[in-house]
Chains A and B, each alone.
Chain A
Amino acid sequence: MGDYQVDRECRYPAYMSISDTIVASATAPGRGAISIIRLSGDNSLRIAEALAGKTFTPRLATFGKLISDGLLIDTGVWIYFKGPNSFTGEDVVEFQGHGGPVVIQTILRTIIAQGARLANPGEFSQRAFLNNRIDLTQAEAISDLINATSVSAVKAANQSLSGEFANRIHAIVADLIHLRTQIEAHIDFPDEDIDPQNLREFSDQLTNLHHHLQSLKLAANEGARLNRASDVVLIGEPNVGKSSLLNALANEPLAIVTNIPGTTRDLIRHDLLLDGIELRVTDTAGIRATEDVIETEGIQRARNAIETADIALCLFDERHHTITESLVNRLIGDTTSAAIGIIRTKNDIQSQPTINQTNYPLIEISAVSGSGLNQLKDWLLNELNLNSNAETPFLARERHVIQLAIALNYLHQAMSQPVNLETIDLLAEDLRLTQNALSEITGSFTSDDLLGSIFSTFCIGK
């Protein structure tokens, strides 16, 4: 098989010889009363024993505390599985504690501070497979899992990276690139006609950068909403009853409900709490061909909202008795990865039964009488909790906060001594690492990108 060599004697393949320690919540986010936090890797035992303040015996459940910096964070059951007899084949420790997003977040952060890192999507299963804990027949399932979870992770990351947070981090990265461009040009092109840089100016830029990054990290930390609302988008032809449904779910009038088609021109959002799960329901403009500029803009926004939604509810009223795939596609386009549900509205005035020719579930409701609303709520909750492998937006933001902290650390180091020529290479190194940390959030920035920035900023070419 080519030049790919397998060491048959070795239980762990060469590529697993250094296994960093990963951690994640093994239970679905949201409602559970018990949560399981799982650690895997060489340092699992060390970290767990430090937090529990006692030593563990393999496969023996131990009731104990989880203490960090002298503070009791949670009590629960610890179980240590010594590798290779564990799920991943590595040393694994599980902590079964009390559910609750605040506690889980605190535990994860505590464990990460001890040297573990947040697991990537599907990483536990991947390690299990690589360490022969899952057999060959499961290989495709593992691949599917990695693929599906990474898709959901990308989506979650995009949701986290939007709005104010995105604007601020992009501004910081732009400033960082500006500073690095000047410093690297200074280093790589000393013979060029570049105006002698004022080191003081570098120093000021550095201070600014640090200030912005620090305040963003604080804001992101507070904004890392524990149960970030799941996005539900209502979509349908004008006057189909989207606003009425939103109002029925919210129990208060939010949107202007009239029977003149095209009333809702802007997106109207409302945050709801359904059984502990936060929903952000977006009421969109009715989708139809229009020349009204304002309404066209509203429709564009509706399309955008569908792109990033978790769930899209397609509403139909008495105008359509037979629901077909093409009818649905006309509403939502074909680019969304949201879960889709068909809602037949106004069932209090419907005369003919609905024929559903799609594979999507159908729920019939009346916003006036309230019939079908409970069924809809149950379906929504079920849908949002169904895929426990999916990366949640909360976790995505948590990853972002961690990267901001790493970036800030490097920036601290960069500022630990005054900017001077002699150590400008060290400053450049700290800034490179700062950028690498931020690239995990905003996308990669290569050395070639940096060179491109230098060549477009300065006239190089002795």
Chain B
Amino acid sequence: MDYTRCFDVIVVGGGHAGSEAAHAAARMGCDTLLVTHSIETLGQMSCNPAIGGIGKSHLVREIDACDGLMAKITDHAGIQFRVLNQRKGPAVRATRAQADRVLYRQAMRHAIETTPHLTIFQQPVSDLTIEHDRVTGVVLAMGLELKAKTVVITAGTFLAGQIHIGMNQQSGGRAGDPASNELSKSLRDLPFRIARLKTGTPPRIDRRSVDLDSLPEQPGDFPTPYLSMMSQGTEHPTQIPCYLSRTTEKTRDIILQNLHLSPMYAGVIEGVGPRYCPSIEDKMVRFSDKPTHQVFLEPEGLTSFELYPNGVSTSLPYEIQFDIIRSMDGCSQAVITRPGYAIEYDYFDPRDLQATLESKLIENLYFAGQINGTTGYEEAGAQGLLAGANAALRAQGKDSWTVGRDEGYLGVMVDDLITLGTQEPYRMFTSRAEYRLALREDNADTRFTEKARSLGLVSDQRWKHFNDRQEQITQEMHRLKSTWIRPSDPTIEQLNSILTSPLSKETSAHDLLKRPEIHYHDLVERGEFLGHKDPSVSSQVEILVKYSGYIDRQTDEIKKLKKNEQVKLPTTIDYQSIVGLSNEVRQKLIDHRPETLAQASRISGVTPAAVSLLLVHLKKLDLMNMAS
């Protein structure tokens, strides 16, 4: 590492956000430095070794559509792949992979190490250098100062972490790692709003001590699905199954008898835990009428004996954890390899960020990942991509990049975070996306690749692949529109047998597909036309036709909203001086500092009348400006 030069982008942290951020900036040709406290832990999966799932896989596909890393790496490291919601509509289908930690880390490190323009350096970062509210570089723990045009902070793994096991507490990051206290202290001196969150993890168990033969096996799908659109079919390592265990009546008794030993129930932990990932204590208390809860035993890798019992996150003392695990189906002799624990940690109020993930308070400083109050590799990775790309754009003196709620889950997540903030670790769900039908796994490329290419994120190879695919989709759509099926056709009896009402007039295959009871494969099987050679193209066309009515309706809704998205609220706006606003609305606007009128309108409590008043105020500013 050449310490004398001024980097375009310095990324602090080598987790999932940091890796994507550094890789994105380097792809765009920026001279990029990734500083991490340990090169060994680049791409480390600190919690459950799984990537994707409902809502999350959408983010992974969006990263992939911008030529990011996560999907490609998962395809190389995944040891069990499933498509969730396979029988439901395409908008809610999601791919989930169980990953081998070691393979994942290796593939990630390799990708980072072989990327042009990207330098890696191992040193903790202890401080930032800031001049006139603008970041100019970082200070390393050994005292050296490095200069940079922009800095991306992804030091998410449990800032000022406090680990709880029973009544025992200790400071720490993820188990085994030190908490990033130096940087945390320095950041606390800056005017950011900081709050605390809580999450938990289950104990790990040795698979050799579990009676796996007695438990239902959960194999992956066959053929094995892929996350990256660029994967060829040769990436996957050996595939192995997960197993399904369950808690028993005995588990419940053990937990309820020992609740007073749980730091959460004893009031020791104050941070807010996620509603969607309750500890096993919580589950037993809140759903006490449920006799048993399922626990997925997920392998940590091909070369590891450890299993991750997904569903029994706990902060009870180790002795109780021991009893809990042994009370579960197939686990009467189970050996715990690491205890479960709850952890409290700092996060920075994401309402202090812009839609580019640049800080509203310090120029050229970007934040991505868990530090912004999110949880999950996918959420972190997607933010990393956005922050890294924007840091690069700034360094290059180009316009920034933002993603709308109508464009991607990335846009939904960032808008939720910067507009509403979060009270629990923020995790993606499809129900957060109002334009869910348009934001699908299968069309992430259509939504992102062209824009990403214009930013310099996308390789020639992917760009060609993308254009070929788009061309084929267009051609296939055209073919279906010009393929006519007539009531006089000899095969019509066959077709009518599956139609709810028989065909009465000449109809194009395209219009026929709009009928809910008809599928592309029905038409091919009945010899109406030959199927397309690439099933992903024909399925894309089928989805486009079937969803068209709904998508058109959403497009209208989006158009109306865009109007307010374009109205920027100046950072200098004085909400106290706006006539007619209630005190409550005023306070909310001051707290949130929305960037656009649309963002303001999404803050709870900001009424349509308040939005009107803001518009009138902006117009007044306009007129005053013109007059002066």
Contact = CB atoms under 8 A, between A and B. Distances in A.
Interface of A: 1-6, 8, 13-15, 17-18, 20, 120-123, 126, 129-130, 132, 135-136, 139-140, 142-144, 146-147, 150, 153, 184, 187-193, 417, 421-426, 428-429, 432, 444, 446-448, 450-452, 454-456, 459-462
B54 interface: yes
B55 A188 contact: yes
B51 to A, nearest CB: 15
Contacts of A462: 294, 296, 310-311
A140 B89 contact: no
B361 interface: no
A444 B153 CA distance: 35
Contact of B550 (A121, A143, A153, A426): A426
A461 B89 contact: no
A459 B290 contact: yes
A459 B55 CA distance: 19
20 contacts: A1-B572, A3-B568, A4-B570, A6-B626, A13-B619, A14-B567, A20-B560, A129-B619, A135-B623, A136-B624, A188-B92, A190-B54, A190-B85, A191-B296, A193-B290, A424-B92, A425-B88, A428-B436, A450-B431, A451-B275
Contacts of B91: 425
Name A's interface SS. Answer: helix
Interface of B: 53-55, 84-85, 87-92, 275-278, 282-283, 286-287, 290, 293-294, 296, 310-311, 313, 420, 429-432, 434, 436-437, 516, 547, 550, 559-560, 563-564, 566-573, 578-580, 597, 604, 607-609, 612-613, 615-627
Nearest to B435: A429
Given A15-B564, A187-B431, A126 B283 contact: no
Contacts of B622: 6, 13
Contacts of B612: 120, 122-123, 126, 146, 150
The interface centre, meaning the residue of B55, B573, B613 with most chain A CB atoms within 10 A of its CB, is B613
A142 to B, nearest CB: 5
Contacts of B571: 2-3
A3 B278 CA distance: 43
A187 B54 contact: yes
Contact of B88 (A14, A187, A455): A187
B88 A422 contact: yes
Given A6-B622, A8-B626, A139-B616, A444 B604 contact: yes
A120 B612 CA distance: 10
Given A146-B612, A422-B89, A1 B621 contact: yes
Given A15-B567, A421-B88, A143 B579 contact: yes
Contacts of A425: 88-92, 436-437
B580 A18 contact: no
Q: Which 10 residue pairs across A and B have the least CB separation, nearest first?
A: A2-B570, A150-B609, A147-B580, A425-B89, A143-B579, A4-B570, A455-B275, A459-B287, A139-B620, A143-B580
Contact of A147 (B53, B89, B613, B623): B613
B88 A424 contact: yes
Nearest to B90: A425
Nearest to B562: A18
Given A447-B434, A448-B420, A462-B310, 17 more contacts: A3-B571, A17-B563, A126-B615, A126-B616, A129-B616, A136-B623, A143-B617, A144-B580, A426-B547, A447-B432, A451-B275, A451-B429, A455-B276, A459-B286, A460-B275, A461-B282, A462-B296
A129 B578 CA distance: 16
Contacts of A184: 431
A417 B516 contact: yes
A451 B429 CA distance: 9
A190 B623 CA distance: 55
Nearest to A14: B566
Contacts of A428: 436
B616 A423 contact: no
A429 B54 contact: no
Contacts of B608: 120, 150
A151 to B, nearest CB: 8
Contact of B431 (A13, A190, A451, A456): A451
B563 A146 contact: no
The interface centre, meaning the residue of A121, A130, A143, A193 with most chain B CB atoms within 10 A of its CB, is A143
A187 B564 CA distance: 31
Nearest to A149: B609
Contacts of B563: 15, 17-18
Contacts of A121: 609
A122 B580 CA distance: 13
Contact of B570 (A1, A14, A150, A432): A1
A446 to B, nearest CB: 7
A189 to B, nearest CB: 7
Contact of B54 (A20, A188, A426, A432): A188
B615 A130 contact: yes
A17 B84 CA distance: 42
Contacts of B92: 187-188, 424-425
A385 B276 CA distance: 54
A129 B560 CA distance: 20
B616 A191 contact: no
Contacts of B580: 143-144, 146-147
A143 B276 contact: no
Contacts of B616: 126, 129-130, 139, 142-143, 146
B198 to A, nearest CB: 14
A4 B613 contact: no
A73 B616 CA distance: 37
A292 B609 CA distance: 44
A304 B597 CA distance: 36
A454 B432 CA distance: 13
Nearest to B582: A147
Given A130-B615, A423-B89, A462-B294, A136 B620 contact: yes
B363 to A, nearest CB: 13
B552 to A, nearest CB: 13
B344 to A, nearest CB: 19
B294 A189 contact: no
A148 to B, nearest CB: 8
Given A6-B625, A462-B294, A150 B85 contact: no
A43 B283 CA distance: 56
Contacts of B310: 462
A459 B289 CA distance: 11
A454 B274 CA distance: 13
Given A129-B616, A139-B620, A143-B613, A429 B296 contact: no
Contact of A423 (B85, B430, B516, B625): B516
Contact of B434 (A132, A190, A432): A432
A121 B610 CA distance: 12
A191 B621 contact: no
B609 A147 contact: yes
A6 B625 CA distance: 9
B609 A130 contact: no
Contacts of B420: 448
Contacts of B569: 4
A462 B277 CA distance: 7
A140 B616 CA distance: 9
Given A143-B579, A188-B54, A190-B85, A459 B623 contact: no
A281 to B, nearest CB: 31
Contact of B294 (A123, A187, A193, A447): A193
Contacts of B286: 456, 459
B379 to A, nearest CB: 15
Contacts of A188: 54-55, 92, 429-431
A250 to B, nearest CB: 38
A461 B295 CA distance: 10
Nearest to A450: B431
Contact of A459 (B84, B283, B609): B283
